[in-house]
Amino acid sequence: MPDQLFEAMRQSVIDGAPDTATELAQQALASGVDPLEAVNQGFAAGITFAGEQFGCGQIYLPDLLASAEAMKAAMSILEPEMLKQGSQREALGKVVLGTAKGDIHDIGKNLVATILAASGFQIFDLGTSVTPEQFVAKAKEVDADIVGVSALLTTTMAGQKAVIEALDRNGLRPRVKAIIGGAAVTSKWAAEIGADGYSRNAIDALELAKNLMGKGTALA
């Protein structure tokens, strides 16, 4: 049964059908499916497929936009459920998150925010197209432990480097850790710009953030 449900979720995003995506998300919660699994195995699989289709010219930007809308509709049902779990957990640390300047992609960044918040991190989400100065100002204001910068475009990855340089210039590192992610980001790029960590998905982002706070499950 969950397999069929996950397949329907994936298809609802590919079809760009927000109403169906909403109904399937509600159905998942009503039947006790873990919301994180619904995202990972269902809806996110759909947006990844749509992205591949877009990348090879099989679908056009309006189709991709419709898929993104369906994904967002599902997330608006699932997110509150995931966040409920976070309010009952021990405080793990403060994380300032945002997408690099010039970049409006936020689905992955929002997923990272939700999963970290659901696990007990306090999240300060600056949204999309965030300048290095805005990251620095927020990190100072809230006394952040971690700053996370998402970038989905090869052209906006330079913004991740600019944020790290701004954190250094303002004397915030090494106390404040800088982590990066996004489809185009690689471990090589993370090493090149001196990031304290990088992850390919939200689950690994959680493990990474916990490790940086000295609260991970990985053996030292």
Q: Which residues pair with 124 in a beta bridge?
A: 96
Residues 47-106 that bind ligand B12 (CB under 6 A): 47-48, 50-51, 54-55, 61, 64-65, 68, 102-106
DSSP string over 60-128: -HHHHHHHHHHHHHHHHHHHHHHHHHHHTSPP-EEEEEEEBTT----HHHHHHHHHHHHTTEEEEE--S
For tokens 């790029």, the residue is: 189
Residue 109 interacts with ligand B12 (CB under 6 A): yes or no: yes
Q: How far is the CB of 54 from ligand B12 (least distance, A)?
A: 5
- Contact criterion met (CB below 8 Å) for 106 and 99: yes
Residue 84's contacts (CB-CB under 8 Å, 6 or more residues apart) are: none
Q: Which residue's CB is nearer to ligand B12, number 65 or number 142? A: 65
Under rule CB under 6 A, residue 213 binds ligand B12? no
Q: SS3 of 197, please?
A: strand
Provide, rounded to whole angstroms, the least separation between the CB of residue 205 and ligand B12.
Answer: 4
What is the largest distance, in Å, between two alpha-carbon atoms of the chain?
53
Angle formed by the axes of helices 132-142 and 157-169, nearest 10°? 50
- Smaller CB distance to ligand B12: residue 62 or 214? 62
Which CB sits closer to ligand B12, 79 or 106? 106
> By the 8 A CB rule, do 175 and 192 touch?
no
Q: By CB under 6 A, how many residues form the interface with ligand B12?
A: 38
Q: C-alpha angle with apex 169: 126 to 212, nearest 5 degrees?
A: 60
Contacting residue, 8, 29, 153, 213, with ligand B12 by CB under 6 A = 153
Pick the closer one to ligand B12 by CB: 31 or 147: 147
Comparing CB distances to ligand B12, the nearer of 142 and 184 is 184
**Residue 122's beta-bridge partner residues?**
94
Looking at the Cβ atoms of 5 and 74, the one nearer to ligand B12 is 74
Q: How far is the CB of 76 from ligand B12 (least distance, A)?
A: 13
Residues 159-188 that bind ligand B12 (CB under 6 A): 179-184
Q: Is 111 in the site for ligand B12 (CB under 6 A)?
A: yes
Is the Cβ of residue 88 or residue 151 nearer to ligand B12 in the bound state?
151
Contacting residues toward ligand B12, per CB under 6 A: 44, 47-48, 50-51, 54-55, 61, 64-65, 68, 102-109, 111-112, 148-150, 152-154, 179-184, 199-202, 205
